[in-house]
A and B are shown apart, each in its own frame.
Chain A
Amino acid sequence: MQACESNVTKQNPSRGELMERRYLLGNEAIAHGCLESPVDFITGYPGTPSSEVIDLLRILPDAQYYVEWSVNEKVALENALAAAWCGLRSLCTMKHVGLNVAADPLMTSAYTGVTGGLVIMSGDDPFAHSSQNEQDSRCYALFAKIPCLDPGSIQEAHDMMRDAFSLSEQFGLPVIFRPTTRICHSKGDIELGDVAKRARIGEFHRNPQQYVVIPAHTRVLHKKLNEKQAAVKSALVEKGYNHYVVRGPTAVVASGIAATYVQEVLPPDVSFMKIGAYPIDEEWLGEFIRQHEKVLVVEELHPVVEEAVRQVAGCVTVHGKKDGKSPYEGEFSPTAVAAIMKSCGFSPSREFPAAIPVAGLPARPPILCAGCMHRPVFYTMKKVFKDGIFPSDIGCYTLGLQLGAVDTTICMGASVTIGSGISHSGEEREVVATIGDSTFLHTGIPGLLNAVYNRARMVLVILDNRITAMTGHQPNPTTGLNARGESSDPVSLEAICRACGVSFVETVDPYDLVSLTTAMKSARDRPGVKVIIARQPCVITARRAGVRRGRFQVDPETCTACGLCVKFGCPAIERIDEKAFINDLCSGCGVCVQICPSGAIGKEVSR
């Protein structure tokens, strides 16, 4: 792993071999687990908290595997499934909501099964740190009837990922690997194994009864899938993913990182069951539950474990979400878990003080960077379409909310479809949707095609910064580089839009407010669906590529303290004694020069 090259080796007494210990991010440890397996084929679409796994694997020199950033999760999963059918160990990564996009192939891949191991990493995000919802990927695993691994620590995440491919091969089923944000983005001293050298070559064996899911075949496949379930359940116990210790008449059952929080506060006389894999063996579960008088289930998000416990509990008292003791939403912490335990009559082994944050401090939310190309687009949009409705999408530009230029965001690609829906609803105000380059390629294109063909009236602005910025600057088909950093011809967004039937396609430099305004005004005055492509590289990638535009400064003599540039919302523009001041964050985009009515902003003169 590049991020942490140094390491410490030590003798592992249990295995009698030299093990390596490193301080790693959860996703780095997960990536290393893939190398130990080893993985042959990797696809995915970036999404917090999952992105770093491929970002690490794609840059390793001498990689023996195929790796791509796919255009969306459905495309990614289908590619990985094909490779698994050809006998390769395949990994497909995404965030939880990406699994919705991939749900179509997911559900039927359980029927067809796989030959090579197929592991679908779906990063869940309790508390929605960087997401639009708090859905639980474990539910997809139950729905699809495939195994799900749910690590409680980074070490366990590493070990589970290393072994997940052979679990998948053992049952011929895809496996969902579901870490949460606090696994992916936590760190720990992790024991690593050796990187395995073997690499498989794929070979497709024709078998229509398995791979062509016509009704006659799929009915048989469904029965076979159901017949696998019992063996899967007992194997997950045998492999030690689900285990318990009996200590007294009461018990806590926990899963994921919540199980680790429980261990921080668990009194010594309370029994403990850790669930790390699904489906849970009901007989095994019932034996444990019925040895107790009272059981508390502690898990984040959906009550997956709790529902299983309640089914086998008989007259044992069960506490959890369904009786209001534990929340359905948000993420847990040792403090939260201790409070849940107390509310159910347990005495946590550790007391936490009531710590109250200082009130009244100004918030510091994330903000579009100084020099970000999205800001002048939002600024101009609001000026040209004063009464406009602004559907938007998923990306850094969702932060345009702070500038009053984002009215809706629901899921990837939905700016254009929500826009066309509003335009057909009878609403007469102008609809101006914004979408990023990567999001447009992900799921925006069908919506645009649909809007044009069904004669919507709207403007779509493609915010084309040539990279998937928010998740850490992954290349996409507009970048001209693939995941390995090899050059590939960038797609033409103009040609795609024209092929969707759009006749008004204008490409502008968003740093040029005059061109931007002209393009928006001519779009406004035309019927149908109009597309404006605002193109300027992401300011972060531009800086990394060595672009230096020089900074701007305010002449305090000329500044009239009107505040117009401050309202633009650039973090490089401050207000000192009423007058504007440009700080070190300035990237030299020069947009504020065009906003200032007094001509007070100019290129910095070297001092």
Chain B
Amino acid sequence: MKGSYDILMVGIGGQGIILASNILGEACLIEGRSVKGAETHGMAQRGGSVEGHIRIDGTLGPLIPPGTADILIAFDMLEGLRYSHYLAPGGRIILNSHMVIPTSVFMQGAKVPTEQEILDGLAHHPVCSVDADRLAAESGSPLSQNVVMLGAASRFLPLKPESLLEAVGRLVPKKTVEINRKAFEAGRNAGERCQTGNP
């Protein structure tokens, strides 16, 4: 009886989660739906682990309780695993197939899981892996990774792709609208492969 569709976006400060959150919020406004969200600001953004909560049709609080998110959009593999307990049973993960190794690992020799170990750790959820780095670069800018990820997620979100594209057009810098539209489509195509069951 929660009434909202809950999206958790996770990654590293600087990867564009705040813009991605604004795009989702704007798409909700375009569709005349209520939306609530919460995100990390301040010092935690300096290369640290960050999270963005979006609750489509949410009318009360901004926080998604752990164990209840409908979808997890992870801009980094390691962060995807770190926040995977937020997903409801069977909740889907849109996973960027890249990982930035935390500096602490090099400095203190901490152990970092391999990509395979991360995928094994996520195996009880449907995972849609997206090579967002490559698709963003092919679309014209590595900075459009966040929009690639939204494009892939758009296959599963209760929002019309036209609303999301319209929101992208409104919110990204004017000069990069075309690049970001391409990035959205590239992500959307990658998401389609997950939808048809051939990730």
Contacts and interface: CB of A to CB of B under 8 A. Distances in A.
A349 B3 CA distance: 13
B107 A569 contact: yes
User: Which of under 10, 10 to 19, 20 to 34, or 35 or more describes the interface residues of B?
Assistant: 35 or more
Interface string B15-30: 0000001100110111
Given A23-B28, A357-B82, A186 B106 contact: no
Contacts of B39: 185-187
Nearest to B166: A6
Interface string B146-184: 000000000000000000000000110000000000000
B4 to A, nearest CB: 10
Nearest to A333: B63
A553 interface: no
Given A189-B34, A189-B35, A362-B110, A4 B22 contact: yes
Contacts of B112: 362
A355 B66 contact: yes
Given A261-B61, A357-B82, A369 B46 contact: yes
Contacts of A205: none
A186 B85 CA distance: 21
A365 B104 contact: yes
Interface residues of A, number: 64
A8 interface: yes
A399 interface: yes
Contacts of A182: 38, 62-63
Given A21-B29, A358-B121, A575 B48 contact: no
Contacts of B37: 23, 186-188
B54 to A, nearest CB: 8
A198 to B, nearest CB: 29
Given A48-B41, A566-B107, A358 B62 contact: no
B3 to A, nearest CB: 10
Interface of B, secondary structure class, is mixed
Interface in A460-482: 470-472
A362 B111 contact: yes
A108 interface: no
B41 A5 contact: no
B123 interface: no
B189 interface: no
Given A350-B1, A362-B105, A574-B106, A189 B66 contact: no
B102 A363 contact: yes
Interface in B86-102: 86, 88-89, 101-102
Given A48-B43, A569-B103, A6 B79 contact: no
Interface string A152-188: 0100000000000000000000000000001011111
Contact of A358 (B35, B49, B84): B84
A130 B44 contact: yes
Interface string A569-596: 1110111000000000000000000000
A287 B142 CA distance: 62
Interface string A187-205: 1110000000000000000
Nearest to B103: A571
A21 B48 CA distance: 32
A22 B111 CA distance: 44
A362 B102 contact: yes
A354 interface: yes
A120 B67 CA distance: 38
A257 interface: yes
How would you classify the secondary structure of chain A's contact residues: helix, strand, loop or mixed? loop
Nearest to B89: A353
A213 interface: no
A130 B42 contact: yes
B78 A364 contact: yes
Interface in A28-50: 48-49
A409 interface: no
A470 B1 contact: no
B104 A363 contact: yes
Nearest to B11: A364
B29 A8 contact: yes
A184 B101 CA distance: 31
B119 to A, nearest CB: 13
Interface in A384-424: 396, 399, 402
Interface string A355-384: 111101111111111000000000000000
A3 interface: yes
B67 A355 contact: yes
A3 B22 contact: yes
A566 B106 contact: yes
B52 to A, nearest CB: 9
Tell me which of A189, A335, A363 has the highest count of chain B C-beta atoms within 10 A of its own C-beta: A189
B26 A358 contact: no
A48 B44 CA distance: 11
Contact of A471 (B42, B61, B107): B42
A191 to B, nearest CB: 11
A353 B32 CA distance: 31
B36 interface: yes
B104 A364 contact: yes
A7 interface: yes
B12 interface: yes
A320 interface: no
Nearest to A361: B82
Nearest to A540: B46
B81 interface: yes
A299 to B, nearest CB: 15
A260 interface: yes
A447 B154 CA distance: 56
Nearest to A5: B170
A257 B35 CA distance: 16
B105 A352 contact: no
15 contacts: A187-B25, A188-B62, A189-B35, A261-B61, A334-B61, A356-B85, A358-B84, A361-B113, A362-B105, A362-B111, A363-B102, A364-B47, A365-B104, A366-B45, A367-B46
Given A129-B40, A364-B82, 16 more contacts: A23-B26, A23-B37, A182-B62, A186-B62, A187-B21, A188-B62, A189-B25, A350-B1, A355-B85, A365-B48, A367-B46, A369-B47, A566-B107, A567-B107, A571-B47, A575-B106
